[in-house]
Structure 1
Amino acid sequence: MTNFAELNTKKMSSTYTSNLRIEKAATSKLKDVNFENIAFGKTFTDHMFMCDFVNGEWQQPQIMPYQPMTMQPSARVFHYGQAVFEGMKAYKDDDGKVFLFRPEENFKRINKSSARLAMPEFPKDYFFEGLTTLLNLDKDWIKPGVGNSLYIRPFAIAIDPAIAAAPGESYRFMIICAPAKAYYKGTVKVLIAEQFSRSANGGVGYAKAAGNYAAQFYPTNLAQQKGYQQVIWTDADTHTFLEEAGTMNVFFRINDTLITAPTSDRILDGVTRKSLIQLAEDNNIKCEVRPIKVNEIVEASKNGSLKEIFGAGTAAVISPIEGFEYQDTYYELPEIGAHSYSSMLKERMLNIQHNLAEDKHHWRYEIK
């Protein structure tokens, strides 16, 4: 029996008393998957991890075949949006070894998100034992080669059947996995938001709360109707400061300096973001973490000093932006080819993730 320390939050305390239970799938779906032509996030591996929180305690964690769940229509997640998630990836090198990239950061962040939504935090032992066991069961779904990965989605939801406007009493923590190739291909065009905001001061922008993303869909649809793939979000107060790009953190290169907005209660503390800042430093690229005004970027584009804009996140790693619209004017970025920071930093990141380069910061986590 594993002994876990007591977990204290503002709303509840929990103890953990059980070991992982495993039910293997009778057959694998692997043979039916075309890995050369796979849509992101629509094909899932053979197994999933699940653990419920009931009566103030996390119950026995379990791995079972991937399958539908039965929930009552009054489950609180459907009515009050208590739902948080993470995005991670597993990689396989040419020797068949499987690695995660900085999973401790994802674990800490999902619990930070949970706390903000008055949800119980998940035990670290359960998280890593469940994740490791799940990946070992489904390791054949992870294909070697740069560009291939297994996307991992941990999430937690309120499941108790009650429509009173209050935090839930029962929750479910799950991990599902989906094989993935490149998320975005090529460059994208973006619209700088002048009316809509991703988040506001004092809100939940720093959390990976499901509702954050639902609120983005409508203004993104409007941008797509104008021929843009994504939105660069501005601050809710004045719409003069640049904050994030679509579902990613965003970087701007003016001359030879990279600039990105500081994290706050509006901006997600992205694992890819903080890793790119470190890689920039490792490669003698000046990187400034500071507020960035829209007018600064517009002026830099006009005078030719704006060299690059790119989004950064787990799914895409880096997504270059070829141009942006602001106040009905379109600004195209120059083609700089081999001198691109985005392509160089992406290559450095992928090489570390795929065990093709030195990992001096100890970011890789081998699944054994």
Structure 2
Amino acid sequence: MQPTTGPTTRVFRYGIEHECALLHTDGSFADYTDTAFDELQVVIDALPEDPDDYPDLRIGDQGIKRKRWYVEGYERFDTDGRLVRCDPKGIEIRTRIHDSVDGAVDAITADVATLDGALAASQLRSTVIGFNPLRSEYVIEPPLNEWERRHRLDSPEERTAHLHMSTYGPDLNLSCADLDPAAVVDIGRKLTHYSPWLVPLSFSSPFRDGAPWGGLSARTAIRTGLRPAVLVFLGEDDEQVEADPSLTQVARIPAEVGRIEFKAFDACPDPGLYGELLSLLTGLVLDETLPGRRTTPDAAMHQHVAVAGLGDDEVHAGTGALLDAAGAALTGRAGDLARLERLRERWARRESPATAMLARYEAGEPVAGVRRRAPHPA
């Protein structure tokens, strides 16, 4: 049966998951090396729990994700599968599902402000950056035990879960009831193909190991190819796609069925940029002209754009073509077109959050705990 609505009248629903990095009050970067899970959990305990968030949000097996805010980290288990510790990397915020982009952006903006209010009573503060600016690698210590190996090695995402301990990014979620499973998988392949030309708009990780590394997104350089650019959530009876990294996953709660989750953007300091990127993704879902499809991300191309960003003329032109295609597909959707125009202005300036971060660093300002060293006197 054909859908009764045309492409531009389709109704979408949206959600945003945003990972906050943390600073100590002295301005130094806070991570698992000097911050305990319990220190962060005290902050989470002070935040409100809203029963209306469910069933939109998943609680998880360990009960850590009981609120819109939760401590994000790497969980360790004993040989019987009991949780023994969680090394924290930061705090994740999730919105419930919203009927509009503006609703999701307003929700994440309000929840960041609420988190900042709760952090004010602690020795921590939130910050936004796409990659741990001091440590490029999280080392699993002690090595995984037998139970952990069985459960950590049974999927591509579990095998590479330690990589996320150095990275901070959003999951931008959208779904449309008019799309059947085959169409949703096709969209996942499409967005995976075009990911290298989308992600430079978000780049916010110009630092590694305490200094600029020569590129704009350490997160993209390290994770994409080993981790998915897009995940599509299907029903348990739908046909899954075998791929490494995964393209599809069985939905864990009913609200996830049909969700398209774009995972390759860096964390963005301005929540409004998330809204602009969601409108761009909406336009690309509606578009019926772009031919590219990939089941897994092009790691080499992602690594190239991670360094060059929109400063590369071919990359800039490719991103512009995607903006054009999305704009044509969004005809009649005034809110999306307005957000897309703001994104186009960023594109025209070849701008990403990383460029502003580097400018602040060069001016001698601290950026996520990193400050330019003063030159030695002659």
Select the structure that is richer in helix: 2
TM-score (norm 1): 0.27
Larger radius of gyration: 1
TM-score for the superposition, normalised by structure 2: 0.27
Compare relative contact order (CA 8 Å, sep 6+) and give the higher one, 1 or 2. 2
